[in-house]
Structures are given as structure tokens and as C-alpha cells.
Amino acid sequence: MQRQVTVTPARWWHLAGLSSLIRESRRRRGAASEDGYTGRGGQPIVWAPRWSPSLALLQSVWSASVPGVRVPLSYVAELQEPGGRRRPIGLGQIRPKREPHQWEVAYLAVDFPAEASRLRLVPDRNASRLLGALCDAAIAQRADRLLARVSDSGGGYELFRQLGFSLAVREYTYFRTLSENGPAAGDAALLAQRVPGLRPQRRADPHGLLQLYERATPKTVQLVEGKRSASWDFAPVGLGRRLARRVGVQRWVVERETQKVGWLQIQRAGRGPHQVSILVDERDAELNQSLVDFALDVLGSAGAANDNAGVMVRAREHQTRLIAALDASQFLLVDAQLLMAKMLATPVLQPQFGRVLEKVV
């Protein structure tokens, strides 16, 4: 029988109590699960790439809010112990996405006592309460959907399914190390001449890229993500990118016969792996291998200042040609995640013309 647990927004006094949970979840991040979906000692249920729970917790409790700036929201699960003392045992965080009215679960972890049973046939009640509070917080922010990426291994799917999340698509993460003795990074402008129609992205390209996305993506995924042409605009460099030590972002477009048939984004990182995103029309499937080779040649060998340098690419299950190109380029499958979404009930505004009609009648 579980003791009384309450879920509240994060406050200043929670910082000290949550430090051990974040530290332990970081230590056990990526470890094998013992009890289905969370493991012991605070293994995270959800942890987005390049996400700092400590920094997001500070942003959530900061009292001086900036108008027009959406900051992450943090909620804490507190356990009432004998004597009236409350101890934080769980932390959940959601962050705003670039698309308006959309939020994403970035971090979710719950600590379990040592005497907890290893056999868990149903999602934990504390984790369900914490995730439910995140859904309510997203509704309060007038969000129309809440997204989450959970690991394909384990029972995290059951937890989100219980609270009304539906599966959109399965995503695979591939990784390849960069050799220190390999060829140096080449000139991108010269390397682009090997791929017909490849050029840097321009400000007038987002609408054509949206059409490319609609041709290459299943309808169910399009409904969940709700992307617009503005999703491919050049994003301003903010505080998060500076803290992540990203050197720069390059975007390339393949245009043939006035139609966008390919898109490539390369995110360089001063520390850790570089990120590469590829979107190709299925009618030009040979572009997948060409863009993968072009990205590897642009990145070149590992720099001396970049520890654990490598290239990370995320491919979805319907991008079979891209997955084949990554396998041919000696990329290794390192992770599989499930993109899940929940359509939220947004508040309905009362019509203002009802009384006028009554007066007319």
C-alpha cells in the first residue's frame, strides 16, 4: 500500500531534495530496467536528448517571468512521511515546442523505496499522478497536444497509454564515431557540387519543404506533429543552444525541376556528437545515400577539442531507404523510441453574440 503522495508545482525548497534524484537518474541513464519501465533508484522514464533537469528546474522556479517567453514547467511528487514532513520523490518537466500550442514531456523520473517489489504489472500510481499533473499544466497553457518520446524497451508505453497517449511512430537513433585519423572536413560548397540540385537553404524554401514533408510522412504522423511552413524557418540562437555548445547549424535543400525533393540539417557540437537530420522524397530514394555521404564529408574527422565526437542521426520506421543508407555507411543502432501524443481538451470560449441574438428576437 502506497502512502499519501501529492503533486505540486516546483518551488525553491524542492531544489535540495531533488538533487539526489537527478544525480541518481543521470547515473542510471540508459541502464537496463529491472522492473519494466523505471528500474530502481530513480532511473528516468523520459529524458530528452541534451536536456538538463537542473537548469530547467531553476527556470521553472524563477520568480521574474518575462512576458512572451515560455519557460519549462516542473512538477514535484511529494511523499508525506510520519511527522508531517514531505519528501520529494518524483520530478516531471514539460517544455514548449517551436510550434505554437504544443508542449513536450522532457523529463519524468520517480524514485522507489528499497522495499518496493520488483514485479510491476501496472504503471506506478505516483508516476501516473505526476504525468497527469503535466497534462493539466499543458491544458492551462492552452496547448492542444502534448508529445513524449519513451524508450521502446520496457513498459513506459503502458504508463502513457493509461493516460490517453497514442502511438504515432517509432524512431531509431543511429550513431557513428568520427575517426581522428580520417580526412579533414571539406569545403561544403565544393562538396555540394557532387549532388545535383543541392544548395544552401533560403528564406523562401519553408513552404516547399512543408510540401516535401507532407509527401514523405504518413498522414497520422502529420496529424500528431501539426507542422507548419514556419517549422523550417531559421531559428534564432538562444540561451539553450549556447549552453549546449553548438558551433553552428547548416541547412541544405535539394531542388530539382522547381520542386523540393530533399532536405538536410547538420548541427555541429563543440562537445558530444553532431546531429544530422534528413528528409527525402521517396521518389528520389537515391538521395538518402548521397546526403549521408555529404554530411560525413562536411563533418570530416573528429576535432581534438571535441570529446566523444561522432554523428547521430534519427530515422523513423517509414524511412526505410534512409535506414538502409545508414547501415551501408556503418552507422550503429543505439536506441529506439516511441513518439506518443495526447490531444488535449482546450477551453472553449463563450460566444459573445448570444445576447445580441436574444435582443433581436
Q: Express each pLDDT in 278-329 by its tens digit.
A: 999 988 889 999 999 999 999 886 554 455 578 999 999 999 999 999 999 9
For the record, the C-alpha cell of 31 comes out as: 541502464
* 118 or 255: which leads in pLDDT: 255
* 240 or 321: which leads in pLDDT: 321
What backbone torsions phi and psi does residue 295 show, to the nearest 5 degrees? -65, -40
Please check whether the two domains, 5-164 and 173-330, share a CATH topology: yes
Q: Which of the four pLDDT bands, split at 50, 70 and 90, describes residue 136? A: very high
Q: Express each pLDDT in 2-57 by its tens digit.
A: 567 899 999 988 888 898 888 888 876 655 444 444 444 456 899 988 899 999 99
Does residue 168 sit in helix, strand or coil?
Answer: strand
The arithmetic mean of pLDDT across residues 135-158, rounded, is 89
What is the SS3 string spanning 122-152? CCCHHHHHHHHHHHHHHHHCCCCEEEEEEEC
Q: What are the residue ranges of helices labelled H in the chain?
A: 14-27, 53-61, 125-140, 156-162, 188-191, 206-216, 219-225, 239-243, 287-299, 320-328, 354-360
Q: Under CATH, what is the fold of the domain 5-164?
A: Aminopeptidase (3.40.630)
Domain ranges of the chain: 5-164, 173-330
Who's near 88: CB < 8 A, 6+ residues apart?
A: 14, 17, 18, 21, 76, 77, 78, 79
Burial class (CB in 10 A: 0-12, 13-18, 19+), 233: middle
Question: Which residue in 138, 142, 42 sits closest to 95, CA to CA?
Answer: 138
Widest distance between CA atoms in the chain: 84
Looking at residue 295, its amino acid is: A
Q: Which of the four pLDDT bands, split at 50, 70 and 90, describes residue 152? A: confident
Confidence (pLDDT) at 27: 73
Question: In whole angstroms, what is the distance from residue 115 CA to residue 94 CA?
Answer: 30
Does residue 91 sit in helix, strand or coil?
Answer: strand
Question: Which residue in 152, 116, 129 sits closest to 35, CA to CA?
Answer: 116
Q: Express each pLDDT in 319-358 by its tens digit.
A: 999 999 999 999 999 989 999 999 997 655 555 544 444 4
Is pLDDT of 115 > 60?
no
* 270 or 280: which leads in pLDDT: 280
Quick one: how far is CA 36 from the chain centroid?
Answer: 22
Confidence (pLDDT) at 5: 85
Confidence (pLDDT) at 339: 95
Confidence (pLDDT) at 83: 74
Q: Which of the four pLDDT bands, split at 50, 70 and 90, describes residue 116? A: very low
The arithmetic mean of pLDDT across residues 133-142, rounded, is 93
Average pLDDT over the chain reads: 82
C-alpha pair distances (Å), 254 with each of 106, 134, 213, 281, 327: 32, 40, 13, 10, 22
Please give the share of the chain, as a percent, with pLDDT higher than 90: 51
Question: In whole angstroms, what is the distance from residue 360 CA to residue 202 CA?
Answer: 54
What is the value of pTM for the model shown? Answer: 0.82
Pairing mode, if any, of strands 310-316 and 274-280? parallel
What backbone torsions phi and psi does residue 192 show, to the nearest 5 degrees? -70, -20
In this structure, of 60-69, 220-229, 274-283, the range with the lowest mean pLDDT score is 60-69
Confidence (pLDDT) at 271: 76
Confidence (pLDDT) at 215: 95
Q: Express each pLDDT in 211-222 by its tens digit.
A: 999 999 999 999
Confidence (pLDDT) at 140: 92
- Rounded to 10 degrees, the C-alpha dihedral 29/30/33/38 comes to 40
CATH architecture of 173-330: 3-Layer(aba) Sandwich (3.40)
Q: Which of the four pLDDT bands, split at 50, 70 and 90, describes residue 121? A: very low
Does residue 116 sit in helix, strand or coil?
Answer: coil
The arithmetic mean of pLDDT across residues 68-90, rounded, is 85
Confidence (pLDDT) at 113: 57
Question: In whole angstroms, what is the distance from residue 24 CA to residue 42 CA?
Answer: 6
Confidence (pLDDT) at 311: 93
Confidence (pLDDT) at 163: 92
